[in-house]
Amino acid sequence: MDKFIIKGGRKLKGSVEISGSKNAALPILMATLLTDEDCVINRVPNLRDIRTTIKILEELGKKVSYDNGTLIVKAKRKLKTSVSYDLVKQMRASFWVAGPLLARFKKTQVPLPGGCAIGLRPVDIHLKGFEKLGAKISMDKGNIIIKTRKLNPAKIILSFPSVGATQNLMMCASLIPGKTIIENAAREPEVQDLINALNSMGASIIIDNRGRIVIEGKEKLGAMNHTIVADRIETGTYLLAAAATGSSITIKECVPSHNEILIEYLCEAGFKIETTETEIKISKKAKKIKPVNIKTAPFPGFATDLQAPWMTLMCLANGKSDVSEDIFENRFMHAAELIRMGANISLERNCAHIIGVKNFTPAIVMSSDLRGGAALVIAALCAKGTSEVQRVYHIDRGYERIEEKLTALGAKIKRVNPAPFE
Ligand code: UD1
């Protein structure tokens, strides 16, 4: 298993270019199942979750080529309607194939995604939506079987604005002739990017002035040509890495308005932020980092995926702050590792109480999940001395060429692939 050896205590400098969004790319790749025509998707980040999704598309019967960020998906043979457990267990978002496959074949079988490091993560909101669209749900040997003779358009009110359920249902409804309305839908930029991709295939989807997603379903969808939106979580992670290390850097090729609340909180914490249409420049304004409380919330609220890197920053603030995780249960595994690096954090249910310390101390730590891993990398960049971040495969799920990008910013970070007996 790869690990990072990081010599911390150095300031970052220069600029970093943001990749296409992983979370936007995953459902957009799955949307290619809605057509037999060719789909061309640009700015696809080269990440483990993307490679898993390519395997899923190939297993289902697509031919996929991926070169220099451009992914081309073509029809190869008649699509299968079920996915193997081996792939679903690697990535919970595999369940998002259910919507397109149900729409095209009126049946699909997908293994129930198992538990996951950041909580139970059920799919009940997806399933209730499929039922509204006329599907019957049953379980067989750990598989969810979703089928029907006929799907119908419907008004679906989500009990929570789940990102995945909104995307899965949108993909399904785009191939059901008639008007489907999703109320209390997620409004994350990744949802808008999927809308853009589906519309490029001939779908007709809008977000109306009441925030509802209105889908005029079509008999057939055609070729897709789409460029993935910038990754706002990667953007936020580099902003927080710069903030925690007290550095001035420029983030390029991003969409600053997708990180508005983070930018506001960083300003409150004492950083100077300047933005253009596609760039964010961060530098230190105050001498000490001011503590700021945050609560995670659906977009445009504070992203749960930035909660862990934000916690790293607050560990260095001048005083007490709270981080409240209101989206996922059990998303504080990084706290124990940050404590091993000298942080002062106490956990109380979904709230982390943090008392700032002067700096982290170098240590050997272990990533427990993708964003938690990024939080540890930032802490290691701050700690004066050599730290080791293990289980880098979590980080590789979501950060394209992270060590290369950090090295270009002046960090001392090296990937080590230990011998198998280590
Ligand atoms: C997506 C993102 C993930 C991000 C999350 C919230 C992808 C691939 N992943 O995950 O990085 O952290 O949005 O912004 O895009 N829930 C249910 N029942 C359901 C579905 C969800 O109870 O059927 C709950 C979940 O357990 C969680 C909350 O709703 O507590 C939010 O989940 P959701 O918005 O669905 O997240 P994902 O789409 O899985």
- Report which residue type is found at 28: I
Residue nearest to atom 26 of ligand 1 (CA): 121
Atom of ligand 1 nearest to the CA of 303: 14
- Coil, strand, or helix at residue 247? coil
Which residues, 6 or more positions from 83, have their beta carbon under 8 angstroms from its beta carbon? 56, 59, 60, 94, 97, 109, 110, 111
Residue nearest to atom 24 of ligand 1 (CA): 121
Mutate to test the pocket of ligand 1, among 30, 92, 163, 299 (most ligand atoms within 8 A of CB): 163
User: Which tokens in the block code for residue 5?
Assistant: 């050896």
CB 147 within 8 A of CB 108: yes
276 CB neighbour count, 10 Å cutoff? 10
pLDDT at 259: 98
Domain assignments of the chain as residue spans, ordered by start: 3-19+230-416, 22-227
Distances (CA, A) of 64 to 29, 199, 372: 10, 21, 31
- Report which residue type is found at 280: I
Could you tell me the distance, in angstroms and rounded to a whole number, from the CA of residue 328 to the centre of ligand 1?
8
Closest CA to 373 of 386, 387, 353: 387
Q: Do domains 3-19+230-416 and 22-227 have the same CATH topology?
A: yes
What strands, in cross-sheet order, belong to the sheet with 3-8? 364-366, 385-390, 3-8, 412-416
pLDDT at 117: 60
CB 289 within 8 A of CB 270: yes
Atom of ligand 1 nearest to the CA of 160: 29
pLDDT at 254: 98
Q: Read out DSSP for 347-377? A: EETTEEEEE--S-----EEE--SHHHHHHHH
Mutate to test the pocket of ligand 1, among 91, 94, 121 (most ligand atoms within 8 A of CB): 121
Could you tell me the distance, in angstroms and rounded to a whole number, from the CA of residue 112 to the centre of ligand 1?
15
Atom of ligand 1 nearest to the CA of 188: 14
pLDDT at 422: 45
Could you tell me the distance, in angstroms and rounded to a whole number, from the CA of residue 327 to the centre of ligand 1?
8
Could you tell me the distance, in angstroms and rounded to a whole number, from the CA of residue 34 to the centre of ligand 1?
22
CB 328 within 8 A of CB 356: no
pLDDT at 116: 53
List 347's β-bridge partners, or say none.
Answer: 352
Residue nearest to atom 12 of ligand 1 (CA): 305
**Among positive and negative, which fits the CA dihedral 247, 248, 253, 259?**
positive
Could you tell me the distance, in angstroms and rounded to a whole number, from the CA of residue 297 to the centre of ligand 1?
11
Fold of the CATH domain 3-19+230-416: UDP-n-acetylglucosamine1-carboxyvinyl-transferase; Chain (3.65.10)
Could you tell me the distance, in angstroms and rounded to a whole number, from the CA of residue 67 to the centre of ligand 1?
30
User: Which tokens in the block code for residue 115?
Assistant: 């538990």
CATH number belonging to domain 22-227: 3.65.10.10
Residue nearest to atom 32 of ligand 1 (CA): 162
Q: How far apart are CA 44 and CA 28, in angstroms?
A: 10
Q: Tell me the pLDDT of the chain (422 aa) as tens digits.
A: 899 999 999 999 999 999 999 999 999 999 999 999 999 999 999 999 999 999 999 999 999 999 999 999 999 999 999 999 888 888 888 899 999 999 999 999 998 876 456 555 789 999 999 999 999 999 998 899 999 999 999 999 999 999 999 999 999 999 999 999 999 999 999 999 999 999 999 999 999 999 999 999 999 999 999 999 999 999 999 999 999 999 999 999 999 999 999 999 999 999 999 999 999 999 998 899 999 999 999 999 999 999 999 999 999 999 999 999 999 988 999 999 999 999 999 999 999 999 999 999 999 999 999 999 999 999 999 999 999 999 999 999 999 999 999 999 999 999 998 655 54
Q: Which residues are catalytic?
A: 116
**Which pTM value belongs to this model?**
0.96
Residues lining ligand 1, Cβ inside 6 A: 23, 26, 93, 119, 121-126, 160, 162-165, 190, 304-305, 327-328
Mutate to test the pocket of ligand 1, among 162, 190, 370 (most ligand atoms within 8 A of CB): 162
List 415's β-bridge partners, or say none.
Answer: 4
- Report which residue type is found at 195: I
- Coil, strand, or helix at residue 129? helix
